[in-house]
Chains A and B, each alone.
Chain A
Amino acid sequence: MPPPRCLHCSRPPALLRPRCGSPLCRGCFVRRFEAEALRSLAPGSRPPAPGPGATVAVAASGGKDSTVLSHLLQRFAPRLGWRLALVSVDEGIAGYREAALAAVRRGRGSPPLLVLSHRELFGWSVDELGPALGPGSRCTFCGVMRRQALERAARLLAADWIATGHNADDIAETVLMNFLRGDVARLRRTATEATGGTGDPTGTSRAVPRCKPLRHAYEKEIVLYAYFQGLEYVSTECVYAPQAFRGHARALLKELEAARAPAVAALGHSSRRLRVGAEGGGRVLGACRRCGFAASRELCKACVLLAALERGRPKVGLGKRALEG
C-alpha cells in the first residue's frame, strides 16, 4: 500500500486526525484546526456563540487548552468583533499554579489580564483545605470556587461571555464520570445546554453564558497545534489529581480512544443526545441568598461549601446526598 499523503496537498502527512482518520500535513492541519475553531464560533452555531461587539473573558490557566484558546481567540477577535480579556484563577495549590500563571503572564499578548485568587475571594486556598477536609478529595471545592471566581471576574470586567478551553476529551470524560457517579442532574444539564437551551426560560439567570470553542478538538490535536505554533504552556498535573474521581473516567477514556479513536467524539455526541427522564425536575437558576450569584437552590454551592467549612463540618455538601436534586 502506498504511503498516505495529505488530503489537500499531497505532501507527506504529519498526523492522522483521530476524529476521522484523515492524513494531513503540518501546514494543512494548522489551517484546518484554526478554520474549525472559527467555524464553531460562527453566528448561528449550536450552541450559540458570542456575537460581534461582545466582551469575552477568556479563562486562561496557563495549560495547553487555554493557551491555545487564547492564542486562537486573539487571532480571531478582530474578525469576530470581540473585545477580549484574560482571566486567571489562582486556586492556591503550591507547585501547580505559580508556574502556570507565570506562563500566562508571559504569553498574554495585548488583552488585559485579571488574576483572582481563592484566598482573596473566599478566604480559603485549596491547600488550606487539607487540615479541614481530612483525607477527602478537594476537587469539589476547587472546581466550585473556581467557577464562581470566573463568574466574579467576568462581572468585574463587564464581560458578556466566558470562553473556556474545554476540549473533546474533557467533555467525553465528564459524561463518563457523571454516568459512573449517577449524577443524573448534570447529565440532563449537559444535554440541554449543548443544544442551546439554557434551562432558563424566563431569562432571569444570573450566570454569564459560557462558550467552549475547542469542544470538538481532541486533546491530541491541541497539543500538536501548540507544538507546531511554538506556544508556551505549562503541563504539570495538579498535585491532587491522583485522588480525583475523574481519574477513573480519564483512564477509561484513554483506553477507549486507543481502541477506537472516534469514540471521543461519539461520547460527546451521546452526551448531547441523552434523554433524561422528567422526574427529579430541572431547576431554574435563581440568585443565591448570600452572595447573589447564580444558584439553583437558596444558597449557591460555593456558599454551602464555605459555610460548612466555617462551621467545621466540611463534608456537608459533598458525597452522594449532595447529588440528589
Chain B
Amino acid sequence: AALKGALRLQVSAALKEGHVTPTELCQQCLSLIKSTKFLNAYVTVAEETALKQAEESEKRHRRGQPLGVLDGIPVAVKDNFNTAGIETTCASNMLKGYISPYNATVVQKLLDQGAVLLGKTNLDEFAMGSGSTDGIFGPVRNPWSYSRQYKGKSVPKSHSEDEESNWVITGGSSGGSAAAVSSFTCFAALGSDTGGSTRNPAAHCGVVGLKPTYGLISRHGLIPLVNSMDVPGILTRCVDDAAIVLGSLAGHDPKDSTTIQDNFKPFELPNLTDVSKLSIGIPKEYHAPGLSSEILALWSKAADLFKNAGAKVIEVSLPHTCYSIVCYHVLCTAEVASNMARFDGLEYGHRSDMNKSTESLYAATRREGFNDVVRGRILSGNFFLLKQNYENYFIKAQKVRRLIANDFVKVFRSGVDILLTPTTLSDAVPYMEFIKEDNRTRSAQDDILTQAANMAGLPAINVPTALSKRGLPVGLQFIGRSFQEKQLLTVAKWFEKQVKFPMIQLEEVKRHDRNVFQYQKSASFS
C-alpha cells in the first residue's frame, strides 16, 4: 500500500517494518500495469517470475535478512537490456521472440540485491528515436496525458476525441521506463542514454532521469546503440532513489573493459543547507533556437533560486555546442552501421525465408527485421565509414567530439561545479503533432540539449521542475564533472526540494487502489 512512495523515504522502510509485503507490493504493481495497459509502457510483463522473486524477498524480509534497500522493490527494465528467460526485443522485428541466455550486468545486480523485475519497457526500435513512437509495439503514451492536471487545462473537445488525439508522447527512447515510473507501476526503471534517451523522457514524464558518467556502470548486456556514448540510465521518482539505484549498479565489471577500475563506494545524499560555496554555470549556447519561452523563464527562475540562496551563478560558454548534433549524427550512425552488422539472421533473431543465397538471406532478413529508421542510420553510417569518406566525416566528427568534450573540461576547470540547462526545448507534444516530422528531424531537435553530455561522457540528471501552462511536466538538467555523481545528485536533491514538483493525479491509479493514496503519505522511513 505504498505504491507512490519513494524507495528510501517510504517503501523500503514499509517493507522492512512489515507494513507491506513484497508480494503485496508486486501484486499491486502488476494490477496497476494491467489497468494502465493503454499507456503501452511495457512490452513484456513477467508476472510469474516477478511474483516468485517477491515471494523469495518476502522470506528474506520475514527472516529479517533483506539483501538491502532494493530487496522487494518492483523495478522495470528497458527492453534493450538482456534478461535471461524474459524476451528481449529492442522493439524490433529483428529480435521479436528473442530470449537471451544471460542477464545484463545491471539486471543481474538488481536481482542480486533482491529487486523484483516486473517486466520490460517499451522504446523506439533499438533505442533510435526521441519519442518512444517508433517501435514495433507502437507508441508509449505519456501518463500525464491522462492526469487531472493536463486534462483540466487542455482545450475541451468531445470526450473520446480528446483522449485519442490529445495524448502526448513520453519522449524517448526510454519512454516506456519513464511512463512506468511516472504511473506508479514500478519504483525505479532502467533506461539507456546515448544522446538523452533517459533524460528526455524523464523530463516529459516528470520523473528523475540520471545519466551517469560513461564507464561508471557496466554496459555488458545492454544492446548497443553507440558504444562510445551509451550509458545505462536510471529513472526514479526522486533524486534520493536515483542515488540508491546508482549505488547498487555502479562499479567495475570485468565483462566491460570500459568501466572504471577503481572501486565505487555507494553514497547517501546529504541535505544541503548551504549552497553559497557552489558555482553554477549557465551555458549560454543552451539558449538554443526553438527553446520555448516557458522553459526559458523556468530556467532563469531556477538560476535565480540558486543565486538567491547564495550560490555563485555565472554565464559560461561551451562554444562548440552548436556542432554537436551534426557530429553526433555521424558518430552515431557509423557505430550503428557497425553494431547492427551482427543481425544477419544466422545465429539468432529474425531470419527471412529467402534462401536463394547467403547474400539474399542477409538482405531480406535485414529488410524485414529493421524499420526505416534503423535502415536509414545503417546506410548513412556505412556511407561515412567508406574509405573515401572516412577522413571527411568520421575523423572530423571525432575531432569535433574532442572539442566539445574540451569545452566542458575548460568550464569545469574555471571553477564551475555544476551546469544548469533545460532538458528539452518544450513540454511534451501530442503524438499527432510529433509524427508530422520524421524521426531524424525529431531526434536532431530533441537531443540538442542532452547529447553533448554523452559526447563528453559526463554525468547529467533531469530534475522535474514545474508544470507547463498545459499542465505537463518540465524538467531542468544538471551536468556535473566526470565521476562526481555525489556532488551532482546532492545539488539536484537540493533543487528538487526547493521546487516541490507536484505529484501526478491519475484517475487510473486512484480508481485502482484507494489505499495507495491513503498509505503513501503515512509510510515513512524510520
Does chain A bind chain B? no
